[in-house]
Amino acid sequence: MKTLDTLKPLTERLLEVQHLHSAASLLSWDQETYMPPGGGEARADQLSTLQTMAHDKLVSPEIEALLAKWVDQATGQALEIAGDAWDEPSRALLREVWRDFSRAKKLPSDFVKKLSRECSLAQQIWAEARKKSDFKLFLPNLRTIIALKREETQYLGYKDSPYDALLDTYEPGATAAQLAPLFAALKDRLVPLLNRVVASPVKIDDSPLTRSYDPSRQVEFGKLVLTAMGYDFDRGRLDLSSHPFTTSFHPTDVRVTTRVYERELPACLFSCLHEGGHGLYDQGLDQARYGTPLGEALSLGIHESQSRLWENCVGRSRPFWHCFYPLLQRTFPDQLGDVTLDRFYATINRVAPSLIRVEADELTYNLHIMLRFEIEQNLIEGRTQAEDLPAIWNEGMKNCLGLVPERDAEGVLQDVHWSLGAFGYFPTYTLGNLYAVQFYDQACLELPNLEAEIEAGRLTVLTKWLNQKIHRWGRSFTADHLAQRVTGRSLSPEPFLAYLEKKFGTLYGLIGSDTGRETQRRA
Amino acid sequence: MKTLDTLKPLTERLLEVQHLHSAASLLSWDQETYMPPGGGEARADQLSTLQTMAHDKLVSPEIEALLAKWVDQATGQALEIAGDAWDEPSRALLREVWRDFSRAKKLPSDFVKKLSRECSLAQQIWAEARKKSDFKLFLPNLRTIIALKREETQYLGYKDSPYDALLDTYEPGATAAQLAPLFAALKDRLVPLLNRVVASPVKIDDSPLTRSYDPSRQVEFGKLVLTAMGYDFDRGRLDLSSHPFTTSFHPTDVRVTTRVYERELPACLFSCLHEGGHGLYDQGLDQARYGTPLGEALSLGIHESQSRLWENCVGRSRPFWHCFYPLLQRTFPDQLGDVTLDRFYATINRVAPSLIRVEADELTYNLHIMLRFEIEQNLIEGRTQAEDLPAIWNEGMKNCLGLVPERDAEGVLQDVHWSLGAFGYFPTYTLGNLYAVQFYDQACLELPNLEAEIEAGRLTVLTKWLNQKIHRWGRSFTADHLAQRVTGRSLSPEPFLAYLEKKFGTLYGLIGSDTGRETQRRA
């Protein structure tokens, strides 16, 4: 039996590629946190060089020769060599390296360099355009990036839609054709649910969340929650950035960021839970496999499942706040002394159509994604032009959520993704929402005391389960295989829809009293 | 006439090397400022990969072929090609690239990788050892590094002493044989001066400097001074680190750090002035020449001249405090309200033999360097073993300054340099002190109102002069050529000694009254 030891000539080379990626990640982290404003252009050049070198090292003749020896280039599967088979980790490693290599090989080095540089610059222009709510400022860069991404789909190749080539970057194997019915199923039940919630006589006043909350105390509370989740500050840190994110340079150095608004308590709180979920995944990857696909997160959808599980299934649940609300009240006695746990639970779960995706409630969130999914398909398939985006966006928002943004900053300019060239990224948010509930339901089944543990603040029971089931495996399995291993079935919108219908049905008095809390969901 | 345009195939390749160096610098900066403690080992590997790649790219066959065409490999000078000469910048560029290339070419790639990794690890062990004042903890790493540096001297080659090969890394062309008489000249006049100062009836009580100073106000004042110096915060930032330093990723992103002690006002104040001097140099380099030697600082000695000029010639002068002392008093009214300008000036210039180099006064500072210069020569020449260092150090301190440290943390473990493999670095501090005064004297000659400008807080008059004369030229000239261009003569210890004798002679009542202030020095 051949093992990972045989692959050492390959993994040693991959480690160098990883070091370049890790360095590039630090450069990006710094760009978002501490870089002085004047440093942007030089940073774009530096990032572009690192990313191009990483690309060139991955598609080097040395790696190509090793893969040619070990991988069947038609199927992408490991070759049996002289009757000697590979063990399971080796087969997974070869399958995934082949995937990375063959995708990278299709992209010319000059193209990688150009794309990286354009994105790094566009990101800074986008930030300025959003600040000024001036779409025209961003338009030339956006046009360039769309053209480059369309060019990229031609290099990568695809079966049905060029958009699939990009989707596959973030969610291996996903296609627009598979996602469309999934979104349709969500829409079919979410829109009626939303209508019933909006029509409900239950009105939730969330004004306590907009009282004045000292920013540094908010951050301290975020750290407390992160620590309780098992996020290790010896191997990570929490900083501020305009857009919260998580980045990892190695399982021993995984950083999360948050943002804090004095009069918006949820912003810091839930971004800490959210990024903490991402952070636990990255800290939980197998250190011994660093630099290989087995030491990398499976996909963005699976990554997002971890953040949404913590943010929503845990962080917006009663058991969690049973433990943490008294601590939050003690941190903000003047602001929350008169707010009961029940009322607080309601405020953080209030449903209301809104303009900004990252502030959307659990019910409307996927409608925001749906809009982006449609728009970016049309852009990449060439049916929509960049200059028409503000109008298309506003029309879509009106149809989906009955709202029209007054400023592009609150509309088409709100997200960073397109400036980064990250077309095909948004759908992974919805996949993450669905996986999150499917995984969490399973955790509740397998850990029958989970709710009691969470009520007692022992969140790491869940962290350990997630690590055993998901984190430590890296890219050993495909997403579908993982879902089957962990939950016994492929991804389905059903658990997610049942969760929402139960939760908001109860909260908005659509299905009887709230006394049973969330325990029934587990039945 | 051939110009820099001809060199584009070369400078484009050098730019990639620079991007790797810049990325590595950011990784190092992060390691000293924000990296979580667990991230150290992975960081060492990442840095090692980047540095090895930079090395390999510099000595690549492509660059070798270009240099073979353009440079006389015997003399290192640009070759006239078909009767067509190079213009001055091109000649300077080729001379300096050849220097870098031929030095790098002598070092095997594996050696570069090993050295980088060992130094990155040793630095972290050293920090722990210093914390615990446990030399033995650091000893194995130090031994490894000394062995590697001795190995390096064999690769690099040398005429008289292997130590010269290392000196040359930091101060091109400098040799132990040249430095020895310089140090001797300093010793000859500094030791008697120190004895007279110590014996003087004038006793300076610097206890006001150890009152309680709010750390964040100290940092704010440091920023105010940096801004007045012309340090551009749009292209830089100030952070905290255990050892203050300056690093640059590009002239548009030059970062300085400081450290703050509540009961030690000078630490933050003078490290801001010092690092600010370094920062102005790096911000003042020619952006258009980034990635080539013409866009790099000339040498460490010249770099240090800029920091010491600002820290001492300016920052410990009466004209400077004439302007800034009222502001400092306003920042700390309770602490400094009862301290006159005269008294404050005396406290920050108090001379007293002390254990810690970075806290040493201007008079004793070079005696600290002298000790290190002797020790590291003996280590590299193999006459001293690492395990004997604590005893040798303590003996040397007793001889030089009449003090013996009680703990190695305040003795042989105090400096980071050896853990970084930076043997041959210390002498550049003394060179910097000498260049600083020689340059500053010249500035006073050429800018007759300089003192009045400084008294009015218009420090950028000096910044501009330094930029015109020194910063913007990068490595266009050798250090000696620069000294001749700027001051009309080679480096001499005379201006520095005259400056000290005048300043401390006056302060300690050794040569009459203090009424003439420092103006006579300019005569």
Give the residue from A12, A25, A34, A248 with the most B CB atoms within 10 Å of its CB, the best one to mutate. A34
In A34-108, where does DSSP find H-type helix? Answer: 40-58, 61-70, 88-106
The closest of A134, A58, A495, A158 to A308, measured between CA atoms, is: A495
Using CB atoms, pick whichever of B20, B38, B239 lies closest to residue A253. B38
Q: For residue A507, give every residue at least 6 positions away whose Cβ sits within 8 Å of its Cβ, in sequence order, or none.
A: A202, A204, A346, A349, A514
Chain B within 8 Å of A50 (Cβ-Cβ)? yes
Fold of B189-361+431-522: Neurolysin; domain 3 (1.10.1370)
Q: Does A312 touch chain B (CB under 8 A)?
A: no
> Which pLDDT score, from 0 to 100, does residue A1 have?
86
pLDDT band per the 50, 70, 90 thresholds, residue A242: confident
CB contact under 8 A, A45 and B19: yes
The region of weakest confidence among A74-83, A91-100, A480-489, B199-208 is: A74-83
- Catalytically active residues of A, by annotation: 275
Instruction: Give me Rg for the CA atoms of chain A.
Output: 23
Considering the candidates B96, B118, B152, B275, report the single residue annotated as catalytic.
B275
Q: Which residues of B touch A53 (CB under 8 A)?
A: 16, 20, 53
pLDDT at A54: 96
- CATH 1.10.1370.30 is right for the domain spanning A176-522: yes
Residue type present at position A348: I
- Phi, psi (5° rounding) for residue B278? -60, -45
Question: What per-residue confidence (pLDDT) applies to B512?
Answer: 61
Of the pLDDT bands very low, low, confident and very high (cuts 50, 70, 90), residue A417 is: very high
**Residues in Cβ contact with B338 at an 8 Å cutoff, skipping those fewer than 6 apart:** none
Give the pLDDT mean for A15-41: 95
pLDDT at B214: 98
Q: Give the residue on B whose Cα is nearest the Cα of A48.
A: B19
CB contact under 8 A, B253 and A50: no
pLDDT attached to residue A84: 85
Q: Which of B34, B234, B249 sits opposite A42 (nearest CB)?
A: B249
pLDDT at position B469: 98
In whole angstroms, what is the distance from residue B234 CA to residue B128 CA?
Answer: 35
The candidate with the shortest Cα–Cα distance to B238, out of B273, B263, B264, B209, is B273
Residue A326: count other Cβ atoms within 10 Å of its Cβ.
12
Residue type present at position B172: P
CA-nearest residue to B250 within chain A is A42
Q: Per DSSP, what are the bridge partners of residue B258?
A: B240
Q: Give the per-residue pLDDT at B515.
A: 45
Maximum alpha-carbon separation in chain A = 74
Chain B residue nearest residue A236, CA to CA: B36
Q: What is the mean pLDDT of residues A144-162?
A: 97
Candidates B38, B237, B252; nearest CB to A42? B252
- Chain A hits for B36, Cβ within 8 Å: 233-237, 252-253, 255
Which residues does chain A have within 8 Å of residue B37's beta carbon, measured at their own beta carbons? 234
Calculate the average pLDDT of chain A: 95
Contacting residues of B for A234, CB less than 8 Å apart: 36-38
Please count the other Cβ atoms lying within 10 Å of the Cβ belonging to residue B495. Answer: 21
Task: Say whether A42 and B236 touch across the interface (CB within 8 A).
Answer: no
What is residue A342's predicted lDDT score, i.e. its pLDDT?
97
Task: Enumerate the residues of chain A whose CB falls inside 8 A of the CB of residue B41.
Answer: 252
Asked if A234 lies within 8 A of B38 by C-beta distance, the reply is yes
Enumerate residue ranges in chain B where pLDDT < 70: 512-523
Please give, rounded to a whole number of angstroms, the shortest distance from the CA of A472 to a CA of chain B.
Answer: 18
State the first-to-last Cα distance of chain B, in angstroms, to the nearest integer. 44
Cβ(B126)–Cβ(B144) below 8 Å: no
Please report the ipTM that was assigned to this predicted complex: 0.90
The domains of chain B are located at 4-105, 189-361+431-522
Give me the pLDDT at residue B186, please. Answer: 96
Cβ contact, residue pair A249, B45, below 8 Å: no
Choose among B22, B43, B253: nearest Cβ to A35.
Answer: B253
Phi-psi label, residue A13: left if phi above 0, alpha if psi -120 to 50, beta otherwise: alpha
Contacts by B85-89, CB closer than 8 A, 24 or more apart: B85/B1, B85/B2, B86/B1, B86/B2, B86/B3, B86/B6, B87/B1, B87/B2, B87/B3, B87/B4, B88/B476, B89/B3, B89/B4, B89/B294, B89/B476
d(CA B434, CA A1): 68
pLDDT bracket for residue A512 (50, 70, 90): low
Residue A393 has pLDDT above 70, yes or no: yes
Residues of B in contact with A239 (CB under 8 A): 34
The residue type of B231 is Y
Going by the DSSP 8-state scheme, the letter that residue B520 receives in this structure is G
DSSP B77: P
Considering only CB atoms, B42 lies closest to which of A43, A239, A252, namely A252
Provide, as residue numbers in chain B, all residues whose Cβ is less than 8 Å from the Cβ of A24.
Answer: 23
In whole angstroms, what is the distance from residue B176 CA to residue B164 CA?
6
Q: How far apart are the first and last CA of chain A?
A: 44
